A and B are shown apart, each in its own frame.
Chain A
Amino acid sequence: MRLLERNPRLSGLIAGLAVLALVGIRAEAQDLEVTSTEPGSIVVFPKVIADGTRDTIIMLTNTSNLMVYAHCEATNGIGRCVGSPDPDNQIYYCNSDEECLDVEAPDGAILENVGPCDLTCQPEDFEIALTAQQPTFWRVSTGRVQDPNLASGDACSDAGNSQMCPGFFLAPADNQGAGANVPGQEAFRGEVRCFQVDVNGALVTGNALKGEAFIEHLGVTGEGAGILSGYNSINVEGGETPADQNVATLDGVEYARCPGALTFDSLAPGQADPISDADVEVEFTFVPCTYNTVNPTSFRVQFFTYDELEASISGGDARACWANYTGSLTGGIMDRTTTYIRTTAAATHTGNCSSGSPVGFGCTSDSDCGRGGVCFDNECVSGDATGFVCANDADCGTGGECGDPSSVLGVVETIYTDGGLAPGTSAESAHHLADGENDDVMVFTGGF
């Protein structure tokens, strides 16, 4: 202090340093991004399909010169009608009980009351270890198991319910050591997200991970087999070391904030591709930025579409944990007369039904939650009940905070149908239109 009093220039200098430091820290916080083209500490694949018609290859790469560990969660976001088993073991997918009331069988017959819809958003976790600069991949329906004896250059081979491929695949799940299996996913339509962790399974913000997903048609040669969609993973950059080893706070300090709105460039559903003349359908897939392995996060998406005549129409919908909207079914808002459209999507400020029916779905008022339902406007962003709906901070336990609901991340996929030919596909992740203002929280359990 005496030094500062003696030297006003020095005190000014130190004050300046403090300001610079604060500016630097603030700048660093602002610079954290959710991006599809830079490595991150959380990697999200919003659309992963392994449902018997298509399968997905996930590529995950360590871009750093250090060993990296990833804790991954595969969350099945599609429900199944489970009330009346079909003798042919046909799976009927659903998003609600209502969708199981009348179901069309493959032979065209209408089956009644095959509900209820089992939509649990059940996550399955697994671990992957990547050596310095190591790329790896696995097929989602089979997972992958290590076989060091497989000759390089060979094709992958079946290993019971899994798949062995040439290369080095270190998946130390459940302390089983190298070569343990990344589980295959049966009848899966959902998301995969991987968190960069340390050897003990605690979150680290190393920003070393990136990836791609390739969704491929199954079938026989000449009838669609090999048709691909591909998109880059959505990567959340990390900043300061997380305060909790299993809770990632996307507040712009620990991790980047999720975008406030998304925008997609696409052809308009129902229009013809101007090159091939194929009929166009568009699918928008969303996952909530907030994630909790114990309590699935629900969200409500509001759409706006703009066509080349600048006309806009809006609509919205609420879903739990994962949503795949077909463009032609989103209330007709994408039925446009021009070929090209731009669609923006954002999570609206909504709550979750804490009672009534359907529990856990997005709502804006109690009436959305059915008779006797209560719509809580927020969810716990910290505290013992992180991820659960809340009315106030007290609902979130000691030191908990009741905050805004989840932002969303998304992917758009276009399907091109041309007569009797197998449909072509293409996909890409969304552009980000606005910076997010809300904090999101991702919570997982487990670890090495």
Chain B
Amino acid sequence: MLTNWKITSFASAFALAVVGATAASAAPDHDDPTGLVIFPKIVVNSASSVDTRLHLSNTSSAPQMVHCFYVNANSHCTNNGAVCDSFADCEDGGIFGACVPGWIETNFDIFFTSRQPIGWVASEGLAADDLPCRATFLNPNPCVGQGSNNGTRIPPISEDPFIGELKCIQADSLTRLPVACTGSTCPNDFTGHAAITSSTTTDVATYKAVGLESVLNNADETLVIGGGTGEAEYEPCADILVMDFVYDGAVDPISGIYEASSELTLVPCTQDLRGQTTPPVTAQFLVYNEFEQRLSTSRRVECLLDTPISRIDTSQPPRSIFSVELGGTITGQARIRGVGGGLAGVGLLSLATDFEDPSTRVGWASYSLDTVAETEEDSPDTIFLP
């Protein structure tokens, strides 16, 4: 016979199971409008004519505002401050400096009129006369509906070359913080996409921004990403991402000529934008080929990881577990688990004459990573706003 305490325990466990199952079903969302939008890959390099076009849309019938943060993930030389990829870029007068990872945020606001799309080029920004709906004393309602873009000033990215990310948070126009809300009252109105363009080809790679739906907010400077019921302010980030890829160096099955080259970009979900720090996350990779053979590797993600996949585990691409010479099949699946925090990211497939030489690229396409598990309730991610 069940005693009352046993029944109560059973009921509690059942309730927790039900609530837990419900909470766990949320996931980063590339499809629905959301209150927090992440562009994991913004790249500008005028030397190779690469730039990124960004596009944000307000799907609401009311004017809305977002508070955005460019995160500059460039590394810099200790001896001369130049942007670098490795110490080999830091030679100055015969002396080599160290190449140190950096992390600098720049924040700004964008004011949208109702249902308005706004786009800009990362290297140029958007302000003043270029704003589509700029109200003046003589013309206070420059567009069809309510509101104007006054107050918007999107700066150009802070360095060239630039690799980094953009986060935009739907916010109150006065406090620049998310509005206090619960459940369905939380505003989730923004969609976004980015287009990476290079002059070496007419081809363009676009991807949909990662969105995190707002589910609760206390309007403070600490955004809780995931977590338990009553704690989580946004949907959880991915604990496990899945990236389908073509092995680096594999011959394209359509052209029969070009070699495939894939890139992976990952950003950690936890960031201290106030203290300009980010705790490193270790990305663990399980790589499967068509024979179901599994290889694995790990890589630290400090601020941002943007790399050809065959350089994730080695500096010699033909020796990589992402190389076709080791993979043995054309396509593979990588399961990417974030240890120490959630991750967001995007993939990119290129075709080139030589997969190790980006200047031989003829075409590219970007695509989203799939989420197969979210971060646990007891380990939410956190964004601290300045």
Contacts and interface: CB of A to CB of B under 8 A. Distances in A.
Interface of A: 7, 9-10, 13, 16-17, 20-21, 23-24, 27-28, 31, 33-39, 55, 57, 59, 61, 63, 131-137, 139, 152-156, 163, 165-169, 210-212, 214, 216-218, 221, 225-232, 259, 263, 265-267, 273-276, 278, 306-312, 338-342, 414, 416-418, 421-433
Nearest to A339: B119
- How would you classify the secondary structure of chain B's contact residues: helix, strand, loop or mixed? mixed
A29 B103 CA distance: 42
Interface of B: 4, 7-8, 11, 14-15, 18, 21-22, 25-33, 51, 53, 55-57, 59, 113-119, 121, 132-133, 142-145, 191-193, 195, 197, 199, 201-208, 242, 244, 246, 250-258, 288-292, 294, 324-325, 327-333, 335, 349, 351, 362-372
Contacts of B29: 35, 37
Nearest to A430: B31
A216 B57 contact: no
A340 B203 contact: no
Nearest to B15: A20
Contact of B117 (A227, A276, A308): A308
Given A225-B255, A231-B367, A133 B202 contact: no
Q: Ordered nearest first, which 4 A-B pairs have the shortest CB separation?
A: A230-B365, A152-B328, A167-B329, A424-B202
A202 to B, nearest CB: 24
Contacts of A136: 290, 331
Contacts of A9: 4
Given A226-B363, A428-B207, A36 B324 contact: no
A37 B207 CA distance: 12
Contacts of B324: 153
A227 B253 contact: no
14 contacts: A37-B370, A37-B371, A133-B288, A137-B330, A167-B291, A210-B242, A227-B203, A227-B363, A309-B142, A311-B144, A339-B119, A424-B204, A429-B31, A429-B208
Contacts of A417: 202
A263 B57 contact: yes
Given A212-B367, A309-B133, A433-B33, A156 B330 contact: yes
A427 B7 CA distance: 55
A287 to B, nearest CB: 16
Contacts of B253: 57, 137, 139, 155-156, 163, 165
Nearest to A216: B254
A226 to B, nearest CB: 4
Given A152-B329, A274-B121, A226 B351 contact: yes
B8 A13 contact: yes
Contacts of B329: 152, 165-168
